[in-house]
Amino acid sequence: MPRLPKDTFDWHPDLVKAASARYAYSHLHNKRDQTAWREALRYLQESRDPIYIQKGGQNKGNIIGIPKSITNDAIRQTLSKIVSGEELVLRPEMEGLSGTSVDIGKIPYYRDRIYRDGGYALLAAMYSATNKFPTLLSESDIKARARPYTDNKIDYDYRTREHGIWKCMDSLRY
């Protein structure tokens, strides 16, 4: 464990508490960043290095000790803002979560959760057709009606090989 320079404050315990509260808050409210906060909390708990602001020298003012394994830029910026004093360790909405210890192994979380998939968009587009009698809808009309109901791509993307909403037609046929 590296030594802490004289007259410097170790932010490590405060950052663990902040990451724990932010992870519990994002898990409680089912936010999309809960996986990133979970990973950051795990890396902070595994790390025993002190986290401090460099007092002098060429790197004066730089934050030293945030684990390099935290690769999410938004998480790193939030932790840096906490250390530099631009953001509170515990925001007011997270005050009740500060005393809770988060055991990473016990809280389930979802990976790559699909919120609004293509099947829902296709059914909603066909339902939103204003005609009372069943008529044929053009492909461009279906695309225009389905766009507000999905977060996925509409068409097949040849660069990334991601299927659009038309792939789910196979499962909707039966």
- For 4-58, how does the pLDDT look when each residue is reduced to its tens digit (9 = 90+)? 666 677 888 888 888 888 888 887 777 888 888 888 888 888 887 888 788 777 8
Cα–Cα distance for residue pair 87/103, rounded to 1 Å: 25
User: Each residue of 122-156: pLDDT tens digit?
Assistant: 878 877 776 655 667 788 888 888 888 777 778 87
pLDDT of 173: 62
User: Each residue of 59-105: pLDDT tens digit?
Assistant: 777 888 888 888 888 888 888 888 888 888 887 777 766 444 555 45
Sorting pLDDT into bands at 50, 70 and 90, what band is 110?
very low
Q: Which residues of 115-153 are buried (b: 16+ CB within 10 A; e: fewer)?
A: eeebbbbbeebeeeeeeeeeeeeeeeebbebbeebbebe
Six-digit token string for 44: 């902070």
pLDDT of 97: 64
Cα–Cα distance for residue pair 41/21, rounded to 1 Å: 10
pLDDT of 109: 46
Choice between 73 and 163, residue whose per-residue pLDDT is larger = 73
Q: Are the CB atoms for 90 and 140 separated by under 8 Å? A: no
One-letter amino acid for residue 136 of the chain: L
Indicate the pTM of the whole model. 0.53
pLDDT of 105: 52
Q: Are the CB atoms for 79 and 66 separated by under 8 Å? A: yes
One-letter amino acid for residue 141 of the chain: D
Contacts of 59 (CB under 8 A, 6+ apart): none
pLDDT of 91: 79
